[in-house]
């Protein structure tokens, strides 16, 4: 069994068997709330809800995905929870309130343990915890004193919102019952805060990365001609689960030409001799996500052509990691990578210098073989929230993931590391995970 690391966790605050991951230090959430309060105007009232339990068919349901914003501010992962902040409330006990489902024997029998008030306080650092049955009266009293009401919603630019969320229903109820109030958007404030990771958050990200590293090393040794993609997925499941983690996203385990499908998730084909295997798989630990991609030769050794393509991608990744500096704009960073990729593709004889010269500025020649973005913020969401038109700042964590995809040759290579932006320069959080072609071959031989 892997050693249980404490990081910024507080052993003994809760029984570690009470949750999937080891408890985090409640000071993380106390500090996050304090950062939010600095952005609020006088008389502000804030409310945000847990996610719904997602249904399947008939009476089935999936495990709840904790609301990232609620977790960021409270550490609470339980369904039907509600956090209320009223920093200027006359009664100090009402300035932070956590509303929870009240435990009872029926819930315990059918759904298991639910948080007590004391447990919720130890997790969140919030002293006032009430049951949901107390919400209507408490909320009305706070609304009567509120100058502006900040409510939450999913404002990720790439989100497709087709199912009404618990927050959306709460907004509708508030507008119907209190139509004369001034309502404001909480999401822009949280996006601003969550983009910059604290030292405590970086430590949890490092744990997700450590587990991801262990999974990759385990799987790399299991790759061979004839093994099925889903068998390798199962090896990741084993390593992640034994370390109290889960998949950060649906794993991509794509052999041969499958790697040219960017979001290939079938994972049901055998790995063929002479093929490359692209694995875009990472762990989620304590709701923080790693994001790793590695490409390995199924036979354990790159062919000369595969190595040339691989090293071209690796050079772009290395240079792009070095470019993750304070003040850099995402669009400029991406453009720099595209110019480097143009040069690499010319050397690989996939495009010509005329292709590069004749391409439109917003449609560089490399897009024929490198058609996706260079990277994105990472944190409580894999594609984490934050305004990408602002300059990189210290505390940002970015993925760096260039690739080359050649369908006509059945070759797809993508490499991806996670990088912390600091005043002293970028820190590659995955520097210890093998990525050089020789390192990959040596790992597979072992």
CB distance 46 to 85 below 8 Å: yes
Q: Classify each residue of 232-255 as buried b or exposed e, where b means 16 or more C-beta atoms within 10 Å of its C-beta.
A: bbebbeebbeebbbbbbbebbbbb
How big is the CA angle at 115 (ends 197 and 135), to the nearest 5 degrees?
A: 90
Say if residue 15's pLDDT is above 80: no
What pLDDT, on the 0 to 100 scale, is given for residue 446?
87
What pLDDT, on the 0 to 100 scale, is given for residue 361?
86
CA 209 to chain CA centroid, Å, is 12
DSSP 3-state assignment of 150?
A: strand
From residue 41, alpha-carbon distances to 116, 273, 336 in Å are 32, 63, 40
How does residue 20 score in pLDDT terms, banded at 50, 70 and 90? confident
Q: Which residue has the tokens 């894999």?
A: 382
| CA dihedral sign of residues 336, 340, 343, 344 | negative
- What integer is the mean pLDDT of 233-252? 98
pTM above the 0.75 mark?
Answer: yes
Name which CATH class applies to 196-445: alpha beta
DSSP 3-state assignment of 210?
A: helix
More confident residue, 2 or 75: 75
pLDDT digits (tens, 9 = 90+) for 247-260: 999 999 999 999 99
Say if residue 102's pLDDT is above 80: yes
What pLDDT, on the 0 to 100 scale, is given for residue 19?
67
How does residue 263 score in pLDDT terms, banded at 50, 70 and 90? very high
How does residue 355 score in pLDDT terms, banded at 50, 70 and 90? very high
What pLDDT, on the 0 to 100 scale, is given for residue 4?
36
Name which CATH class applies to 16-193: alpha beta
Residue 113 DSSP code: -
CA dist., res. 383 & res. 405, Å (int): 22
More confident residue, 160 or 408: 408
Say if residue 382's pLDDT is above 90: yes
Pinpoint the residues of the chain covered by CATH 3.40.350.10.
16-193
How big is the CA angle at 125 (ends 195 and 5), to the nearest 5 degrees?
A: 70
Nearest C-alpha neighbor of 431 from the set 301, 317, 280: 317
pLDDT digits (tens, 9 = 90+) for 432-443: 999 999 999 999
Average per-residue pLDDT for the chain? 95
What pLDDT, on the 0 to 100 scale, is given for residue 11?
37
pLDDT digits (tens, 9 = 90+) for 412-421: 999 999 999 9
What pLDDT, on the 0 to 100 scale, is given for residue 13?
40
- What integer is the mean pLDDT of 319-343? 98
User: What is the Cα Rg of the chain in Å?
Assistant: 24
How large a percentage of the chain has pLDDT more than 90?
Answer: 93
- Residue 371, C-beta contacts closer than 8 angstroms, at least 6 positions apart: 262, 405
CA dist., res. 152 & res. 169, Å (int): 11
pLDDT digits (tens, 9 = 90+) for 121-140: 999 999 999 999 999 999 99
CA dist., res. 40 & res. 43, Å (int): 8
CB distance 196 to 225 below 8 Å: no
pLDDT digits (tens, 9 = 90+) for 384-409: 999 999 999 999 999 999 999 999 99
Pinpoint the residues of the chain covered by CATH 3.90.230.10.
196-445
- What integer is the mean pLDDT of 74-97? 97
- What integer is the mean pLDDT of 218-237? 98
């Amino acid at each position: 069994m892997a050693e249980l690391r404490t990081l910024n966790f507080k052993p003994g605050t809760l029984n570690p068997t009470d949750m999937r991951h080891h408890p985090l230090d409640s000071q993380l959430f106390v500090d996050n709330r304090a950062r939010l309060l600095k952005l609020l105007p006088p008389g502000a009232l804030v409310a945000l809800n847990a996610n719904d339990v997602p249904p399947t068919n008939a009476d089935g349901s999936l495990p709840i995905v904790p609301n990232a914003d609620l977790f960021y501010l409270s550490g609470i992962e339980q369904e039907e929870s509600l956090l209320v902040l009223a920093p200027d409330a006359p009664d100090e006990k009402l300035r932070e309130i956590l509303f929870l489902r009240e435990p009872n024997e029926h819930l315990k029998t059918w759904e298991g343990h639910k948080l007590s008030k004391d447990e919720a306080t130890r997790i969140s650092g919030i002293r006032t915890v009430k049951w949901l049955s107390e919400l209507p009266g408490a909320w009305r009293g706070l609304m009567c004193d509120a100058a502006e009401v900040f409510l939450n919603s999913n404002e990720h630019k790439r989100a497709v919102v087709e199912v009404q969320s618990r927050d959306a229903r709460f907004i509708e109820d508030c507008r119907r019952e209190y139509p004369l109030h001034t309502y404001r958007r909480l999401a822009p404030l949280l996006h601003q805060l969550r983009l910059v990771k604290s030292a405590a958050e970086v430590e949890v990200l490092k744990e997700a990365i450590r587990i991801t590293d262990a999974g990759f090393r385990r799987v790399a040794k299991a790759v061979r001609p004839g093994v099925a993609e889903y068998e390798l997925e199962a090896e990741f499941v084993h390593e992640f689960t034994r370390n109290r983690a889960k998949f950060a996203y649906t794993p991509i385990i794509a052999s041969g030409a499958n790697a040219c499908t960017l979001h290939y998730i079938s994972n049901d084909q055998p790995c063929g001799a002479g093929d490359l295997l692209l694995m875009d798989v990472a762990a989620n630990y304590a709701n923080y996500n790693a994001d790793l991609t590695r490409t390995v030769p199924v036979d354990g050794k790159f062919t000369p052509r595969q190595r040339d393509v691989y090293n071209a991608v690796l050079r772009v990744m290395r240079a792009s990691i070095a470019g993750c500096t304070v003040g850099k704009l995402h669009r400029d960073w991406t453009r720099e990578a595209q110019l480097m990729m143009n040069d690499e593709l010319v050397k690989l004889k996939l495009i010509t210098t005329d292709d590069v010269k004749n391409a439109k500025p917003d449609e560089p020649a490399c897009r024929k073989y490198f058609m996706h973005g260079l990277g994105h913020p990472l944190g409580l969401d894999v594609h984490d929230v934050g305004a990408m038109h602002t300059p990189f700042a210290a505390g940002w964590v970015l993925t760096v993931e260039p690739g080359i995809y050649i369908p006509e040759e059945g070759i797809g290579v993508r490499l991806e590391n996670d990088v912390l932006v600091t005043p002293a320069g970028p820190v590659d959080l995955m520097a210890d995970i093998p990525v050089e072609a020789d390192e990959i071959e040596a790992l597979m031989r072992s």
